[in-house]
């Protein structure tokens, strides 16, 4: 019987658990090693060079766990570091940008796509590039929403204040008449209901997490790296964080939908 | 002529520049070396152990610049790391908690003091301990305001949304009838006008930055470590940051009140 290696997933913190959730859904037989860089979170406001440095350190950590594939769950890291690291490492590395961009292209009817993300993600223009590469005729409007992550972390996902902030940030996208909005940050699915209400029913929201899990399945099939059918219940996901594990385990449930066990502190940084 | 060594000041990021500003005011003849840990900012939501580790690394960096005194400008770091590091290093190390606490005790008339800060600062109970040590009869009410830092960094210091958030966080302090509020985070002086409006004219705001600068002057006098009278214009402040310097130099002016030069990237972490 072949011993299958795990899939490695990293994020700046907790948001990447929305990706873990979808990977479990689409690849239920796979083992997962997750690293959340909670001691250095957030990546969103930091510079390209620093994010590349952090991403390389995270990849080296995951490689110590002999992962067969790495998913960069963090949009900011995907947008500025993926093109560098995929050149340098042998292990297949996926980001969340391309799957989200392609899904937006597939779904839009009026060819007007909105992208929301952190300041660095928006500044990088990564979604725009991927969307225009796939479909040059598209109009892409990007807006940085730096307060969304702190609001989610504060647990204010349904308050009137949050609604006002969502309205303020998304006003330019409404003006532009986009019919599709990419949630370009792993925290944003937690604000999905509010964003949908503010944008209106006619607008489709694209959650990159789901698309990246589907894409990961396709790549593992192509590379013949899929794990054998899981036999019996066991611990399939191990979580490592650079700050203390208690808070991560406690709050992670909001992102993952079920309680986290197996959270270990690993301050490789 | 004796060669005077600089004062070292560190913070998780940019907020400590409010302390630099006051140190320049009270100690105009001193040289300053500032370190802002912008690659790992913020410290506020992180654990005690991680903040202690970061603080030690920052102190070791400043010691390489032969500083004669270290001021921990970060409230979060002062509240959880000062008691550890002051035991272990020979160099005098000051935090911002005690000076702010003593000033609040001096100013309150009704013996009801409010403290606002990050989650970790509030959880540490450091201000409360220092206030009660100085004046056991005081009533202290502490509130964590995790969204204040991101709001300041977003530049939203005068918007109606910010007013609502300030009102929401400070409501319990108004109910308790405090007459003095300690701004227990170096970012908060930038929200001073708004906080004053919400709390009302009868409430005094205590800015720890000013008090720590006064206290630093007293200690340097006692230890006979004051610099000679400065002769002529020269570069008195050097800034080091762990992320890229451009953004720090650009936005630092809001905190410091004058343009920053001499900003160098020093990723010792």
Structure tokens at B133: 């040590």
CATH 3.40.50.300 fits B97-209, yes or no: no
Note the residue count of chain A. Answer: 269
Mean local confidence (pLDDT), B1-23: 90
- pLDDT score recorded for residue A233: 53
Q: What are phi and psi of A68, to 5 degrees?
A: -95, -15
pLDDT tens readout for residues B195-248: 999 999 999 999 989 999 999 999 999 999 999 887 655 568 999 999 999 989
pLDDT averaged over chain B? 94
Active site residues of B: 74, 185
Give the three-state DSSP class for A22.
helix
- For B159-192, the pLDDT digits (tens) are 999 999 999 999 999 999 999 999 999 999 999 9
Region B7-95+210-265: CATH code: 3.40.50.1860
Q: Tell me the three-class secondary structure of chain B, residue by residue.
A: CCCCCCEEEEECCCCCHHHHHHHHHHCCCCCEEEEECCCCCCCCCCCHHHHHHHHHHHHHHHHCCCCCEEEECCHHHHHHHHHHHHHHCCCCEECCHHHHHHHHHHHCCCCEEEEEECHHHHHHCHHHHHHHHHCCCCEEEEEECCCHHHHHHCCCCCCHHHHHHHHHHHHHHHHCCCCEEEEECCCHHHHHHHHHHHHCCCCEEEEHHHHHHHHHHHHHHHCCCCCCCCCCCCCCEEEEECCCHHHHHHHHHHHHCCCCCCEEECCCC
Best of B123, B143, B146 to substitute, by most chain A Cβ atoms within 10 angstroms, is B146
Asked if residue A167 lies in contact with residue A194, where contact means CB atoms within 8 angstroms, the answer is: no
What span, in angstroms and rounded, lies between the C-alpha atoms of A98 and A23?
16
Instruction: Give the closest residue to B18 by CA, choosing from B253, B244, B182, B230.
Output: B253
Spell out which residues of chain B touch residue A247, defining contact as CB-CB under 8 Å.
47
pLDDT of B90 over the 80 cut: yes
- B168 touching A (Cβ < 8 Å): yes
Q: Within 10 A of A214 (CB to CB), how many other CB atoms are there?
A: 15
Measured distance CA(A94)–CA(B149) in Å, rounded: 33
* pLDDT number for residue B3: 64
Instruction: Say how far apart CA A68 and CA A30 lie, in whole Å.
Output: 11
Of B150, B156, B244, the CB nearest to A50: B244
Is the pLDDT assigned to residue B53 strictly greater than 80?
Answer: yes
pLDDT at B4: 84
Interchain CB distance below 8 Å, B164 and A164: yes
Of all residues in chain B, what percent carry a pLDDT higher than 90? 86
Query: So what's the pLDDT on residue A235?
Result: 63
Quick one: DSSP state of residue A250?
A: H
Residues A154, B161: C-beta atoms closer than 8 Å: no
Kindly report the nearest CA distance between residue B100 and chain A, in angstroms. Answer: 26
- Token look-up 């214009």 returns B233
A91 close to A63: Cβ distance less than 8 angstroms: yes
Of A38, A150, A242, the CB nearest to B150: A150
pLDDT score at B2: 58
Q: CB-CB: which of A53, A154, A243 is closest to B47? A: A243
Query: Which residue in B has a C-alpha nearest to residue A54's C-alpha?
Result: B39
DSSP letter string, A121-144: HHHHTHHHHHHHHH-TT-EEEEEE
Q: Do domains B7-95+210-265 and B97-209 have the same CATH topology?
A: yes
Task: Establish, for the pair of chains A and B, how many residue pairs have beta carbons separated by less than 8 Å.
Answer: 60
Return the residue in A161, A163, A248 with the most chain B beta carbons within 10 A, the one to mutate for interface testing: A161
Do the Cβ atoms of B46 and A38 come within 8 Å? yes
Which residue has tokens 């030069």? Answer: B261
Q: Which residues of A touch B244 (CB under 8 A)?
A: 47, 49-50
> Distance between CA B261 and CA B239 in Å, rounded?
8
- Domains of chain A, by residue range, sit at 7-95+211-265, 97-209
Q: Which residue of B has its CA nearest to A153?
A: B146
Biggest alpha carbon–alpha carbon distance for chain B: 58
pLDDT tens string, chain A, 269 residues long: the values are 456 899 999 999 999 999 999 999 999 999 999 999 999 999 998 999 999 999 999 999 999 999 999 999 999 999 999 999 999 999 999 999 999 999 999 999 999 999 999 999 999 999 999 999 999 999 999 999 999 999 998 999 999 999 999 999 999 999 999 999 999 999 999 999 999 999 999 999 999 899 999 999 999 999 999 998 876 555 689 999 999 999 899 889 888 888 898 999 987 76
Q: Rounded to 5 degrees, what are φ and ψ at A54?
A: -60, -40
* Cα–Cα separations (whole angstroms), residue B41 to A55, A249, B19, B77, B266: 17, 22, 17, 12, 15
- Note whether A147 contacts B150, CB cutoff 8 Å: yes
Instruction: Write down the pLDDT at residue A259.
Output: 87
Residues in chain B with CB shorter than 8 Å from the CB of A242 are: 50
**What's the confidence (pLDDT) of residue B232?**
58
Span of A253-257, B2-6, B251-255 with lowest mean pLDDT: B2-6
CATH class of the region A7-95+211-265: alpha beta
């Amino acid at each position: 019987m072949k011993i299958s290696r795990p899939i490695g997933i990293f994020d700046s913190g907790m948001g990447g658990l929305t990706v873990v959730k979808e990977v479990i859904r689409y690849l239920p037989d796979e083992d997962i090693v997750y690293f959340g860089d909670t001691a250095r979170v957030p990546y969103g406001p930091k510079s390209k060079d620093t994010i590349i440095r952090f991403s390389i350190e995270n990849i080296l950590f995951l490689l110590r766990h002999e992962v067969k594939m790495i998913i960069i769950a963090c949009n900011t890291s995907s947008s500025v570091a993926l093109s560098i690291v995929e050149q340098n490492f042998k292990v297949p590395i996926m980001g969340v940008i391309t799957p989200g961009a392609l899904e937006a292209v597939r779904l839009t009817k009026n060819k007007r796509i909105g992208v929301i993300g952190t300041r660095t993600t928006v500044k990088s223009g990564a979604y725009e590039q991927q969307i225009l590469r796939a479909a040059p005729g598209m109009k892409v409007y990007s807006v940085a929403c730096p307060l969304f992550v702190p609001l989610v972390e504060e647990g204010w996902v349904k308050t009137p204040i949050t609604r006002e902030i969502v309205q303020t940030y998304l006003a330019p996208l409404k003006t532009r008449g986009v019919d599709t909005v990419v949630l370009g940050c792993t925290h944003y699915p937690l604000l999905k209901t509010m964003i949908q209400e503010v944008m209106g029913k006619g607008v489709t929201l694209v959650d990159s997490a789901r698309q990246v899990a589907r894409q990961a399945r396709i790549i593992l099939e192509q590379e013949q790296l899929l794990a054998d059918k899981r036999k019996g219940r066991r611990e399939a996901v191990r979580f490592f964080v650079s700050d203390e594990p208690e808070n991560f385990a406690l709050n992670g449930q909001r992102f993952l939908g079920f309680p986290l066990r197996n959270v270990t502190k690993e301050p490789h940084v």
